[in-house]
Chains A and B, each alone.
Chain A
Amino acid sequence: MDATNYFTKTQEILENATKSQKEAIVHMAKVMGDCMVDQGLIQLFGIGPDRAFAMELGYRAGGLMPYHQLNMKDLVLRGHLTLDEMSDPAFYDRTDLAEKLWNLYTIDPRDMVLIYAAEEVYDSTLALARIAREKGHKVLLVASFDAILNSKHKENAALLIDLTYATLNLCTPYPDTVLEIMPGIKITQVTNVVGNCFAQMLTAETYRYLVENGHDAPILLSANVTGADVHNRKISDVYLGRWNA
């Protein structure tokens, strides 16, 4: 076995996932595009390593501007939690954190919430989705359904799916390990490749939807290209106080 096996296996999984979710991607892009037209932000949430999807959409070079990340680490950075609390194995299941996190930001009634769950729907994730729904926001979900519906928190997953307005299934294996290095022992994961590719496909389709319907599509430039700062600040200032607040 060598690294080329990883490329081959991942391409195969990605192609199947894309084929299976094409209509769902186009639909979710339309839902997000309508939110953006209404000057809403898409509030991105993923806990722990599930932050990956939020990072791929939020304030990203070549991405659309109207996203904001709900980041549990902000609770530490702003002094509401200690690092030790965040390192506690029970951290992800603390339901009190969802409200604390929500209250850190200025979330507008026009905003919607997009949740990424690669393998588990923790108690705090479900609590956040419930707050969003109670306050009248649409909740979108991108997840590996095989994983979340068979994981330790499978009851949470079923409850979360019931709350959602639209979903994308990453169609990745559970557990998320793809290459067998020794009998019964597997290495490497594929879920975040599919997740990040889906994020970029959503970007492409949301852009298409906005442009085809005559709207502006505010795209961020890489901050490491000369002159980008002025452009990026201009399109992000529209959301001042709501973005990165």
Chain B
Amino acid sequence: MNHITMEVFNEALKKLVQTLQNQEMKNIKEASKLCYESMKDDGVVHIFGSGHSVGFGMECTGRAGSLVPFHMIETSDFVTKGLYSLAEFKDPDNIFERRPNIADKLYDLYDIRPQDVFIIISNSGINGLVIDLALTAKAKGHKIIVITSMQHTLAEPSRHPSKKKLYELGDVVIDNCGPRGDALLETGNIEKICSVSSITGIYIAQSLTVEISRMFKESGIELPLLYSHEVENHLEHNQELLAKYKGRINA
């Protein structure tokens, strides 16, 4: 039985975050460039992750210090917008995120414009829903940024009828550098413990914000940023920006 403590986790996490920084910065910058090109043309970046990956979208949207033209898509939108019943959505024998051939319905729920970009997050990158949304968005001509665990996705078979995996559909792919199964620490039994993809996901999400903001600043174009209460006239500024994207971002 291995000795698991918060210090053991911290040490392992520190190494992983360092790997992410060393290995993925080039891809983060390329992804930021795609987002910036879209946003400067009044585009919106749509973020989709099912399960806990929805946290990536939550991290990008709706807070002071965040860029406004991010839109978070949630699988629960299928229910709240009346496409599926809660019972169908929660069916334990037909797990929703694994189903193919329904993502086009999800795409059609929103005001998506030609210059918009997609960020699709899936640690495994093997499930029907994320792969189908990527296929749909690609077919409509959008650029796709994929965030996945390469170690995990290469170790598991695709659940999509095409046998494709999400990373194969990305114009830019960012490896979250996490292990297969997401948990970092060996316990000595079959199960590993302490997952990392949400943490590395936040580093990636925030890094995108930094890089996109830097590109806006260097171009001399006004940054579509939500101001904190420390900034004078922040309420008027924020309301004006939110109104500009109304109907295309989360309410």
A and B found bound together: yes
The chain A residue with its CB closest to the CB of B188 is A211
Contact A207 B86, beta carbon cutoff 8 Å = no
Contact A207 B187, beta carbon cutoff 8 Å = yes
The chain B residue with its CB closest to the CB of A79 is B86
Digitize B1-16: 1 where CB-to-A-CB distance is under 8 Å, 0 elsewhere: 1011110111001100
Q: Is B54 an interface residue (CB 8 A)?
A: yes
Known: A18-B10, A188-B209, A189-B65. A56 touches B52 (CB 8 A): yes
Number of B residues near A (Cβ < 8 Å) is: 77
Q: Cβ of B183: which chain A residues have Cβ within 8 Å of it?
A: 61-62, 219, 222
Contact B214 A181, beta carbon cutoff 8 Å = yes
Q: Is A213 an interface residue (CB 8 A)?
A: no
- Chain B's interface: helix, strand, loop or mixed, by majority? mixed
Known: A188-B206, A211-B1. A222 touches B193 (CB 8 A): no
Q: Is B79 an interface residue (CB 8 A)?
A: yes
Contact B126 A224, beta carbon cutoff 8 Å = yes
Q: Which of A62, A189, A208, A211 contacts B181 (CB 8 A)?
A: A62
The segment from A70-78, A109-117, A123-131, A156-164 found at the interface with B is A70-78
The chain A residue with its CB closest to the CB of B195 is A62
The segment from B34-42, B101-109, B136-144, B227-235 found at the interface with A is B227-235
Contact A224 B62, beta carbon cutoff 8 Å = no
Q: Shortest beta-carbon distance, A91 to chain B, in Å?
A: 11
Q: Which of A6, A219, A224 contacts B191 (CB 8 A)?
A: A219
Q: Is A51 an interface residue (CB 8 A)?
A: yes
Q: Cβ of B225: which chain A residues have Cβ within 8 Å of it?
A: 181, 185, 187
Q: Is B168 an interface residue (CB 8 A)?
A: no
Number of A residues near B (Cβ < 8 Å) is: 66
Q: Is B207 an interface residue (CB 8 A)?
A: yes
Q: Is B171 an interface residue (CB 8 A)?
A: no
Q: Is B28 an interface residue (CB 8 A)?
A: yes
CA distance A174 to B4 in the complex (A): 32
Q: Is B76 an interface residue (CB 8 A)?
A: yes
The chain A residue with its CB closest to the CB of B217 is A181
Known: A1-B214, A76-B80, A197-B199. A207 touches B124 (CB 8 A): no
Contact B13 A225, beta carbon cutoff 8 Å = no
Q: Which of A11, A179, A186, A187 contacts B17 (CB 8 A)?
A: A11
CA distance A181 to B90 in the complex (A): 43
Contact A87 B21, beta carbon cutoff 8 Å = no
Contact A77 B25, beta carbon cutoff 8 Å = no
CA distance A190 to B63 in the complex (A): 12
Digitize B203-216: 1 where CB-to-A-CB distance is under 8 Å, 0 elsewhere: 10011111101100
The chain A residue with its CB closest to the CB of B61 is A49
Contact B195 A60, beta carbon cutoff 8 Å = yes
Known: A2-B211, A22-B6, A204-B6. A196 touches B199 (CB 8 A): yes
Q: List 16 A-B contacts (CB under 8 A).
A: A3-B29, A6-B206, A10-B206, A49-B58, A51-B58, A62-B182, A185-B223, A185-B231, A186-B65, A186-B230, A196-B199, A197-B13, A201-B6, A204-B6, A224-B152, A226-B157
List 6 extra interface pairs beyond A62-B181, A207-B4, A225-B156, CB under 8 A.
Answer: A10-B203, A10-B206, A55-B52, A63-B193, A204-B194, A221-B191
Interface positions of A (Cβ within 8 A of B): 1-7, 10-11, 18, 22, 25-26, 48-49, 51-52, 55-56, 60-63, 73, 76-78, 83, 87, 175-179, 181-182, 184-190, 192-193, 196-197, 200-201, 203-205, 207-208, 211, 219-226, 231, 233, 244
Interface positions of B (Cβ within 8 A of A): 1, 3-6, 8-10, 13-14, 17, 21, 25, 28-29, 51-52, 54-55, 58-59, 62-66, 76, 79-81, 86, 89-90, 92, 95, 123-124, 126-127, 152, 156-157, 180-185, 187, 190-196, 198-199, 202-203, 206-211, 213-214, 217, 223, 225, 227-231, 251
